[in-house]
Amino acid sequence: MRADETSYLSSLIAELKVLWPANRAITIVCHGHSVPAGYFHTPVVDTFSSYPHLLHRALKERFPFAVINVIVTAIGGEDARRGAERFARDVLTLRPDVVTIDYALNDRGAGLEAAGSAWTTMITQALAQRARVLLLTPTPDTTQYPGAPTDARAVLRAHGAQIRAIADEHGVGLVDSEAAFDRAAEAVGMSSLLSSGNHPNRAGHELVVGELMRWFPWSGG
């Protein structure tokens, strides 16, 4: 069963509220492709408008006494197969409390079976190290515009559906970027959320942060 956003990170949220000198540094690692890496109009990398940095700022506003490190291990152009190959070396050595995984846009070239195997490898390794895992469904590209070829739209949708199923299977968190973009596009149009053909602009990244922050509710004292 998929993790519950109101309780999955409850023990971590309690730690985020601990005051000095009893507190410790909390580490969140954002793993994936060019979107979490901060690419907007390639080759421009707009780090401070991308969702890992915006998440860091939002968490600090919500938990002002916490020491939080948000580390990006994403590489532009990479799919989940390569991400899984380097996961232990580049991600787990950082001893993360939370890992986000975002590869679906590029996984279309790998195919569903290979991508699913790679995602499962990363999840299994993270859980074995007692890290919490948040899986991200894909942000859109131009194939998701109304009027784009149906088959092209269907491929990315299939990867989103597979990620939801993997979250259910492993009991980890799901950050449904795809659904958030669908809702926003109805109001403002998809083009207003993209900086280029396959990268969100700041408004798009803020949608992702809104979904991520649902997993870090302030509850209790």
Q: 97, 27 in Cβ contact below 8 A?
A: yes
Cα–Cα distance, 26 to 16 (Å, whole number): 7
CATH number at residue 134: 3.40.50.1110
Which domain does 167 fall in, by range?
10-213
Confidence at residue 152, expressed as pLDDT on a 0 to 100 scale: 84
Q: Which amino acid is at 105?
A: L
Specify if 206 maps to a domain.
yes
Specify if 4 maps to a domain.
no
46-69 residues labelled b (16+ CB within 10 A) or e (exposed): beebbbbbbbbebbeeebeebeee
- pLDDT of residue 109 exceeding 80, the answer is yes
Confidence at residue 220, expressed as pLDDT on a 0 to 100 scale: 53
Residue 124: pLDDT band by 50, 70, 90 thresholds?
Answer: very high
Omega cis (within 30) before 43: yes
The pLDDT of 50-67, averaged and rounded, is: 98
Cα–Cα distance, 97 to 37 (Å, whole number): 19
Specify if 171 maps to a domain.
yes
The pLDDT > 90 percentage for the chain reads 93
Specify if 1 maps to a domain.
no
- pLDDT of residue 221 exceeding 80, the answer is no
Specify if 109 maps to a domain.
yes
Specify if 134 maps to a domain.
yes
Cα–Cα distance, 198 to 182 (Å, whole number): 15
Confidence at residue 216, expressed as pLDDT on a 0 to 100 scale: 98
Q: How many domains does the chain have?
A: 1
The pLDDT of 36-48, averaged and rounded, is: 96
Please give, one letter per residue, the 3-state secondary structure of 134-150.
Answer: EEECCCCCHHHCCCCCH
Specify if 2 maps to a domain.
no
- pLDDT of residue 68 exceeding 90, the answer is yes
The whole-model pTM stands at 0.96
Specify if 110 maps to a domain.
yes
Cα–Cα distance, 121 to 83 (Å, whole number): 10
Mean per-residue pLDDT over the chain, rounded: 96
Q: Residue 111 has which token pair?
A: 């195919």
Cα first-last separation, the chain: 29
